[in-house]
Structure 1
């Protein structure tokens, strides 16, 4: 998907038209008459579009069901069952179609696997695929009980990825999070070491500061917290969400604060958030360029480098708990990373505060994480 997206962005405008025609995709450019007819609506529905840019921007008219990812957050103009998609958003539609074709091809490949495995040229390559993901295993509770509740605010400022810092800030301000936010943030806190008893105390103290009394919390919310720790229901010990799961599943709607800020936040609002966290102007531009190219995990990795004052973080980011663990190892002296030589503007980072654990863990070679497999299986189950 990433390779396809990268190659598509390199195509000039005329080649894009050839590509759409060759693949029988129903993305028809609107006429100048239609553009003038809907001029005001197109400008109001498209972020950062001025009247001058409107004349230069190509719009495509597609059935609205083909653009649900853009319709849901109200990023496109709808009229008579059609969505009007600006040229720079057409990749969203094409990726959906590519994902469908890729899923079908994967299903066909699975059926052919016995024959392919008999080929001695391919068998070693296939055997290696299941071990190609290298990352920490955050399903076990090696860190359980090694942080205290009074450390969470300080840790959120220094070592939480932006998605979790956003959830923590919203929880502290609103004294409530909806289900998606509670799941994403609660499992993250579990992964960094919060025990079940600490989690119940943490959420209850915060919710009862708002509109939820103690009795309602015990009746409505405590069950789901115990469920996450494998103490209720089918007693599954749930693992923290990976970056892929956060980016691809359950996008936030109005009133939600979960999701990936680099994927689900409007670029201008993201810019303001980064400015409030004292990220340098040059750094913000680097992050926004990565977001524009749909490289959300690389944008988060750049955020780590900027807020920790390093020029190379030395790891490939794929999990919020990995972000936390690497941050703690850096701030508590667990590993050495080359510092930036050039002077940079001040960042949000403060002098490191000692905590009771570095939250470091060994690196394991594992197969694809369970949550990632769930996403793939969801795609394949449709065919």
Structure 2
């Protein structure tokens, strides 16, 4: 599959040439064959990296020392390129080692895999572009001057530096118009002469000198031009990729992987029921007020008030309750008791609703033990319509209605403003995490919120009532981490023997992609 670019393509077909520089515009798609195991591992690791970037971008000033340190550590842990400080001369001389080559290969291939997964909707494209741009900015910032010049040359970004004589003639103007440039530093750095239409952001913010249709950009500001170019290329590439999706989705091996990648949850598996019976039916009302995330709290409140939930709400809330410890017998008792208080009699409940409850516990149909919905699945799939109460309040509620809900739950005015600001920036999970901090009197929670059941576990831990639950839930997490490395091989064998199983996401793949 080919992805377009507005600039001239460079002949980078040999892999050694393609990975000769630590940074890419991702113009040339990967042409090699890879295993399905490698495909999914690369993709999941890049999702982890991009989610880290999103969290860091809200928690820290971008490119601050703390931001760079944490992103450096995450890149290293996930085996992505993280050392960009070698000079171009040294890099060419060594022809990069095998270890570095594998990191660059992984970075290249994983980027194109996520293009396939995140081109499907406007929200997904917008999120993917923002995180990729932030990753690119971090990497470009970490390069030395000669590496940056080499990168511009490789990607046909022919922005010429002005001569020493021209710099001296314009020195006063350059100092006055350019941020962080003084009479001393102007002599020691390069200035690029660029058509003004390629630097509209810098012109708009009056950070550069403009003359006769050209702007004079100091070396440290050239990143703005490069980022604009990268964003434009990636946006066009995603649009082209979206057109090719029908052909990709016809491959029964890839369709389930790509469909789940955009909803990928790579944390703890809350479907393993070692904590069954830890929660009693009498506790649910109390726990909903103290430890339920807002999405589950509004479902519980609606169920108590209306004695009914539509299918989307029953699935989202029912699987959440299953994840916090409700057994099948308790679940049947809970839903029957509530529905029969409304317009549903016991006989109708047994005929119309009991089957679906047993089904979500894996006791009916194809016997799939369904997992509780992750935040990404709640946010991105099956949006609520009129009369529904499922979904994510931070994503699907009108801002004014969300404000009223937060006021009802005693969130302070300043806290509400912080949450609404995160919602405005489409950081819905971070808004929920801020809600957790405000309602639990936390200055800064030391976890990254990705799952409603994680919210519950962390809340119980903070309140001192979830030690047993926490201990029981840690075991399946360790099992999942241990099986991740070898689960893919088993999945590949299963796929070879029974291709139809891939379309239903075998258990081995669930360790990477939750919430089928």
- Same-fold call, TM cutoff 0.5: yes
Measured after TM superposition, the shift of residue 5 of structure 1 is 4.1
Which residue in 1 is equivalent to 2:386? 254
Asked if residue 144 in structure 1 is aligned to residue 256 in structure 2, the reply is no
Structure 2 residue matching 1:4: 3-state secondary structure: helix
Deviates further, 270-279 or 141-150: 141-150
Aligned partner of 1:165 in structure 2 is: 297
Q: Please list, as runs of the form range in 1=range in 2, the aligned pairs for 1:301-312 lying within 5 A after superposition.
A: 301-312=433-444
Asked if 1:215 is matched to 2:347, the reply is yes
Q: Which residue of 2 aligns with 1:244?
A: 376
Going from structure 1 to structure 2, the CA distance change for 1:232 and 1:292 (only over 3 Å counts) comes to: same
The aligned residue for residue 453 of structure 2 is 321
SS in 1 for 2:473: coil
Change (3 A) 1:329 1:104: farther
Partner in structure 2 of residue 330 of structure 1: 462
Deviation at 1:239, TM superposition (A): 0.5
User: Partner of 2:323 in structure 1?
Assistant: 191
Residue 171 of structure 2: aligned partner: none
Query: Aligned partners of 2:291, 2:281: CA distance in 1, in Å?
Result: 15
Q: Is the 8 A contact 2:271 2:371 kept in 1?
A: yes
Q: Which residue of 2 aligns with 1:205?
A: 337
**Structure 2 matches for 1:34-113, cutoff 5 A?**
101=240
The structure-2 alpha-carbon separation of the partners of 1:137 and 1:195, relative to structure 1 and needing over 3 Å to count, comes to: same
Q: Distance in 2 between matches of 1:330 and 1:99?
A: 42
Structure 1 residues 141 and 333: CA distance shift in structure 2, 3 A: closer
Residue 419 of structure 2 is aligned to residue 294 of structure 1 = no
C-alpha distance in 2 between matches for 1:188 and 1:318: 14
Whether the aligned pair in 2 keeps the contact of 1:199 and 1:225 (CA below 8 Å) is: yes
Match of 1:2 in 2: 127
Q: What is the alpha-carbon distance in structure 2 between the residues aligned to residue 330 and residue 368 of structure 1?
A: 28
Report how far residue 4 of structure 1 moved. 2.2
Q: How far has the Cα of 1:143 moved from its partner?
A: 1.0
Q: Which runs of 5+ in 2 are unaligned?
A: 1-125, 135-195, 202-233, 250-260, 485-510
Q: Which of residues 368, 376, 382 in structure 1 aligns to 2:512?
A: 368
Structure 1: 5+ residue stretches without partners: 9-13, 20-94, 111-128, 336-355, 375-383
1:99-143, Cα deviation, whole Å (9 max, x unpaired): 654567899999xxxxxxxxxxxxxxxxxx9xx975212121121
Rate the CA distance shift 1:247–1:359 in 2: closer, same or farther, 3 A: farther
Matches within 5 A, 1:169-184: 169-184=301-316
**Contact 1:147–1:357 (CA under 8 A) maintained in structure 2:** no
Q: What pairs with 1:216-235 in structure 2 (closer than 5 Å)?
A: 216-235=348-367
Distance in 1, matches of 2:437 and 2:365, equals 41
Q: What per-residue deviation string (whole Å, max 9, x for no partner) do you get for residues 331-383 of structure 1? A: 11668xxxxxxxxxxxxxxxxxxxx7557521443553233xx5xxxxxxxxx
Question: Do the aligned partners of residues 101 and 166 (structure 1) sit closer, same or farther apart at CA in structure 2, a change above 3 Å counting?
Answer: farther
**Quick one: structure 1 residues 258 and 134, their matched pair in 2 at CA, closer, same or farther if it must change by over 3 Å?**
closer
- Which of residues 406, 431, 442 in structure 2 aligns to 1:274? 406
Return the alpha-carbon distance in structure 2 between the equivalents of residues 319 and 244 of structure 1: 8
By how many angstroms is 1:145 displaced? 1.1
Query: Take 1:104 and 1:186, find their aligned partners in 2: how far apart are those partners?
Result: 37
Would the aligned equivalents of 2:320 and 2:453 in 1 still touch at CA under 8 Å? yes
Deviations 1:210-267 (A, max 9, x none): 0101110011000000000011111110000111111110000000000000000000
Larger radius of gyration: 2
CA 1:102–1:194 in structure 2 vs 1: closer, same or farther (change >3 Å)? farther
| CA distance in 1: counterparts of 2:449 and 2:297, whole angstroms | 16
Is 287-296 or 132-141 further displaced after alignment? Answer: 132-141
Query: For 1:96 and 1:173, how far apart are their aligned partners in 2?
Result: 46
1:8-64 deviation line (CA, Å, top 9, x unaligned):
9xxxxx99xx99xxxxxxxxxxxxxxxxxxxxxxxxxxxxxxxxxxxxxxxxxxxxx
Are the equivalent residues in 2 in contact too, given 1:143–1:359 (CA < 8 A)?
A: no
Equivalent residue number for residue 344 of structure 1? none
Cα distance change, pair 223–291 in 1 and its aligned pair in 2 (3 A): same
Residues 97 and 326 of structure 1: is their aligned pair in 2 closer, same or farther, counting only changes over 3 Å?
farther
TM, length-normalised to structure 2: 0.44
Match of 1:26 in 2: none
Q: Distance in 2 between matches of 1:205 and 1:99?
A: 49
| 8 Å CA contact 2:457, 2:466 repeated in 1 | no
Indicate how the Cα distance of structure 1 residues 277 and 96 shifts in structure 2: closer, same or farther if over 3 A, else same.
farther
Aligned-partner Cα distance in 1 for 2:365–2:266: 32
Name the residue aligned to 1:69. none
